Amino acid sequence: MAANSESEKQTFRLFSTSTSLGLGFLDSSENPLPPTPPPPYLEISSSVKYTVEPVNLGELTLLKGRVNTQEVFGLSNSDLVPGKYEGGLKLWEGSLDLVKALHMEIKNGNLSLRGKRVLELGCGHGLPGIFACLEGAAAVHFQDFNAEVLRCLTIPNVNANLSENIQPLETNEMNAGGEVRFFAGDWSEIHKLLPRVQSNGKNLNCSSGHSQVASYDIILMAETVYSISTLQSLYELIKMCTSSPHGVVYMAAKKHYFGVGGGTRRFLSLVEKDGVMASNLVAEVADGSSNVREVWKLSFR
């Protein structure tokens, strides 16, 4: 995947903020900028029409936003354009599968999100991360390749779903006491933006030779394993960011993505070969609407 466009780098120089609500952007400068005061929160785009409609997930109803790809990216009828737009404006089936699976895992006593640190990779609409917020997660961080997706869709969708539980993001006041942050960038580079921790446990918001990425209890990702070219960087990222030894990863995706070569089985073969993490099938969906879809749980051996 390519780095952000030059215009984005000029507009968003800081890659994270020191407040509880931050939007991080990759800065490709070889010499990092000195610390500066946090910038204003990224405003929701006023030039892009955002509409919302309910999504019924059985016992649960969430809201999904809708924006026009043409308005945001100047593209029409395109699921993705590698290096420019990675499909974040479309609500993929795997996102819904993942929310349903998480809900069932909680009901069956196999999972608790309360008080946990959660990272959603390739978030798009952010429904799995939103579900984690509603279930009492202590922190939920949303990542997407495109800053435009976060600005035009993810943030408005988080606001729409959580408006009855916490104050809108712009106020920086959250009734539930949770932390919600947003990060844009490529999986091979995004770890440079994520909060970091030193040996004394103090969180940092910039890279340091004496710090490492703060780990997450749970990583969520839906429809992220479609491209063979990104599987290795995605896997390295989740190993880096998942808390050891008890952290887990929930992955929802199609068994095979015809035409691009990726899929759950291709990704799991990489995991098995590495030998660091184990995988367990949580759910399989064969409803005839698409290729067979699966939800897997990864954990350290």
Q: What whole-number distance in Å separates Cα of residue 48 and Cα of residue 223?
A: 25
pLDDT of residue 217: 97
> Whole-prediction pTM value?
0.80
What is the CB neighbour count within 10 angstroms for residue 70?
A: 11
Q: What whole-number distance in Å separates Cα of residue 88 and Cα of residue 80?
A: 8
Look at residue 110 and tell me whether its pLDDT is greater than 60.
yes
- Of 172, 84, 95, 163, the residue nearest 126 (C-alpha): 95
What is the CB neighbour count within 10 angstroms for residue 73?
A: 18
Q: What is the pLDDT of residues 133-151, one digit of tens each?
A: 999 999 999 999 989 899 9
Contact 117, 138 (CB under 8 A): yes
Range ranked top by mean pLDDT from 86-90, 130-134, 171-175: 130-134
Contact 63, 154 (CB under 8 A): no
Q: What is the pLDDT of residues 10-48, one digit of tens each?
A: 222 223 332 334 455 443 333 333 333 333 344 556 578
First-to-final CA distance of the chain: 30
